[in-house]
Structure 1
Amino acid sequence: MNIEEFRDYCLAKKGVTESFPFGEQTLVFKVMGKMFALAGLERIPAQVNLKCDPERSASLREQYDGLIYGAFHMSKLHWNTVEIDSNVPRDLILNLIDHSYDLVVGGLTRKLKDELSGL
């Protein structure tokens, strides 16, 4: 998967916006104002940070050693860096994007969840 495919998939989700709050090199995706994905635009290989359940994170890091690991400058308990143009299966990357989005949506206030469902 390349960064454009990643971007398109994230933006196709309900309530998602993109921005550059940390500078031109880091693309951030938010659902209802809450971050669920980041992409380093000048990283080679292409890397993205995604939120993940802690137990699942540990399993993924073990299974994809060197391709999925604790996210730099973020809570390594809840965020993984995933090398998206590597040997990580495309279906898994899509599933991890969905998982991150769902975790963030699950943590939204009732008001924001109602707004999201109305979009």
Structure 2
Amino acid sequence: MNIEQIREYTLSLYGVTEDQPFGDDNITFRVEGKIFMCLWLGMDNFNVDNDNLRFACKLPPDRNDVLREQYKAITPAFHWNKKHWSDVFFERLKSEFVIEIINESYRTIISKLPKGARSRYQVAE
């Protein structure tokens, strides 16, 4: 998947909005105002070759541990709480798996919403 495919898929999820509170080099995706994913656009010198494209996503701590042990392309998030957030180098993973991770992060945030807000989201477990 490329950056635009990641963005399009994430915005296709019900209730997702995007903004850029951290500057032009990141897009954050939210549900009910809560960030569940931050897509790095690779606009700084660190990513000259575009081989480090990634997004940070929020997952349960135990799930982050498992994913980090199984995949070199999933690491503790650089600028986020490393217990709850992982960087996913999506170009190094299969598209189907990347979509699963995005969905899992989306469901994680929805599960933490107040009951009234959560009821608007029919997400299969």
Give the TM-score of the pair, scaled to structure 1: 0.89
1:20 equivalenced with 2:27 (yes/no):
no
Alpha-carbon displacement from aligned partner over 1:69-92 (angstroms, at most 9, x marks no partner)? 000121111111000111x12111
Greater relative contact order (Cα < 8 A, sep 6+)? 1
Instruction: Give the secondary structure class of the aligned counterpart of 1:23.
Output: coil
Q: Which runs of 5+ in 2 are unaligned?
A: none
Structure 1 residue ranges, 4+ long, deviating more than 3 angstroms after superposition: none
Matched pairs, number: 115
Among residues 96, 105, 109, which one is paired with 2:101 in the alignment? 96
TM-score when normalising by structure 2: 0.85
Specify every segment of 5 or more residues in structure 1 that has no aligned partner in the other structure, as ranges: none
Deviation, 1:117, is 4.2
After superposition, the Cα gap between the structure-2 partners of 1:109 and 1:22, relative to the gap in structure 1 and judged at 3 Å, is: same
- The correspondence of residues 9-48 of structure 1 with structure 2, limited to 5 A, is 9-42=9-42, 43=47, 44=50, 45-48=52-55
Q: Matched residues, percent identical?
A: 35
What residue in structure 1 maps to residue 8 of structure 2?
A: 8
Structure 2 match to 1:113: 118
Does the CA contact (< 8 Å) of 2:110 and 2:121 recur in 1? Answer: no
- The one of 75, 81, 84 aligned to 2:81: 75
* RMSD after superposition: 1.5
| AA matched with 1:29 | F
Amino acid at match of 2:5: E
Residue 50 of structure 1: which of 57, 62, 65 is its match?
Answer: 57
